[in-house]
Structure 1
Amino acid sequence: MSVLEILKERGFIAQLTHEEEIETLLSQEQVTFYIGFDPTADSLHVGHFLGLMVMSHMQRAGHRPICLIGGGTAMVGDPSGKSDMRKMMTVEEINHNGECFKKQMQRFIDFSDGKALMLNNADWLLTLNYVEVLREVGVHLSVNRMLAAECYKQRMEKGLTFLEFNYMLMQAYDFLELHRRHNCRMQLGGDDQWSNILAGVDLIRRKESKPAFGLTFTLLTTSDGRKMGKTEKGALWLDPQKTTPYEFYQYWRNVEDADVSRCLSLLTFLPMEEVRRLSALKDKEINTAKKILAYEVTKLIHGETEAQKAQQAAEALFGGAGPLDNAPTLTISPAVINGTKLLDILTGAGVFASKGEGRRLIAQGGLYLGNIKVTDQDMLLTADLFENNSLLVRKGKKNYYRLIID
């Protein structure tokens, strides 16, 4: 089975430019391709992970990936899917985020012996002469087509800045530069990047009179079209300091039944025969598939040891088996006991994003200490609530934390 057939079977592919040519190319040659990642935060999130899975499938089939860090394009900001202009970041912020991305990508892509490249488009974009770029690239891009592009539509409602308008030109130039430097012939990206990818494909064909190709993969959404990877704290990050392995595991353990098949196909390397078997489980048995999904995805992101710890913690909390040693632990000083509000402690420890969130949950009856429901928003944390210096906190129906006095 060709890699294109694998990507189709697993449900990755959304659109592609020249299907028959791409199928022939990927089946008969080693192809250099790229995916761009703008470093807009100090960690990759699960949406990026979908792209890394596509990249990994391609690499396993013998093709060479280029992970392109968007140190230059992040200076402008991608308007795709945004109703407001992205926050402008400093050069220092962008460089720091780019370094964080590099470290995380090395967990998923094999960069040894030239099997993959990691580049930064700041190396060529930040030294360009603007007039020369307009003359070389701008002459080949139609403003009419650009304004009709899906990536600009939402921004047009509130007002598209000239800064953002240049993003498509810069991404197209990236493809051209990678084609010239590394014979890169394909650009891949999420389906929200379709218009930008088409611009690059068209630019290479016009400028170089050589074939270039584009392919987009589906965005990670639920069965009813909502974006996946959002938690109460925000994005589902790959950095364990931002989203703990336990929290990461629990997210996938609690997906809707209708989303299990899609997640197993896209986010694991389980054979499709096994994916179909697990996806066919019904009623309570579907929980078996969810546990396997949670374990497999957590193992890919955080390693087997952390996946096992998260699994054991979940079993201890929800299955009544074993100690709670692997549950998310919040350590507090004895000095705060009997004098500090519970809400202040939990907010400071990151259980709540804000005190307002904590107050709303208490008002809704969703916060428990052990088996005791918290009803007083000004409740003080007292020593008599602890047993052996340990206290189990439940936030909502499924989020558990262990408070430890140390």
Structure 2
Amino acid sequence: MKNNFYKALFLFTLSLFAVSCSNDDDNHDDHDHDHDSAEHTYVRILLSDEKTTELTLFDPSEDKISSFTAKFPKSSLYTTESGRFAGIIHRDNNLIETFDSGLEMHGDHIDVDDVPKFGFLTGSAQKPTHFKSKIGEVLTFNDGDGTLSVGKESEINKSGAVFKTVNAGLLAHHGAMATFTNGTYAITEKDNSVTGTLPEKVKIIDNTGKTLFDAKIQTKGIHGNASDGVYAVFGSSSGILVVESNGNQKLINHPEDFGAAWFGSILETASAGKFIGYTAAKGAYLIDVVAGTVKPIIANTTIMQCKVSYDLKKLAVLLHSGDLKIFNISSQQVEKEIKATTATATDATLKPQMAVTDKFAYITSPTTGELLQVNLSSSEIKKTKVSATPYMITVIGYENSESHSH
């Protein structure tokens, strides 16, 4: 009997706790259901616009839109390693801006540390193009002069903070870099053995630009790269170039049926040593740099967007038909297929862009000025008006709903 009394008391206390934790007046069961289908409280979606300087910050859990003004339209958006900040790249205007979500991760919960706002940290550079963020740094490769711009996440809110320039003595080219966990960088090099703007090889430099390891392998052109801190992987027409911080380099062959096709995009995953290679000519493939294998996840030539989820565990593929396919990267199996948008012509000037969390896919609709929020469990689609012609999209914040006051 006593046992039942304590059990009832415990359940009563639990229900009180549930009500106090909930922002709504639903009972506990409904709250659980809502929680499963709702976005994490501290996820934010940042969007730029093609024709206006408007930046839109969407808070899915509050269904709230905030607008900010960037320096120029048509900016590219990227999330920093911590998730708190975004890098805003104005390539044609030679400018880098930063943005702060105001959210701070504290172990198991999130603090609202500040209001969302632009960061103080800015940079002027010659055609900043390729963005990366690792070991607390924010980097761009600048196509206009072959330099790197390096900033620190810790200085984004520091008055007067600017990106510093690292000059590795490179020719101007459409290049890329990757950061190793020891603080050195793999950086592309142009020697003009191939005509055009693409580089042909990769060397390793320190943070002053000094060469630590010369390039070992010459390719016929490099584009696209990713790094897990141990391996830096570059897409190249000669094969997949894998570079290690000790200077080791190797090429992994493309699948036999590739012909002249090669991966112009390489994406990071949550699995060490495993990357996604993507080419519109063939599809998306899992690259295991340790085993040296390349296996198809989806062989398809009608892919419009190919993105990894915010936690790097899912691969999301949006076809020109409007069909969205979600794959589990570790099993390479399809988890979900949803008709997400209307069809987009392959020659459309503005195509939908996509960002994905573990619960939702967010897809821009540039023709209607909307953001589509696709629920990956229920397949429901919600539309929110964002800006005139939404251009780029990125997720910032945290896949977490625990606040300080829990």
Shorter-chain TM range is under 0.3
Larger RCO: 1 or 2 (CA < 8 Å, sep 6+): 1
Higher strand share: 2
Normalised by the length of structure 1, the TM-score is 0.24
Which of structures 1 and 2 has the bigger CA Rg? 1
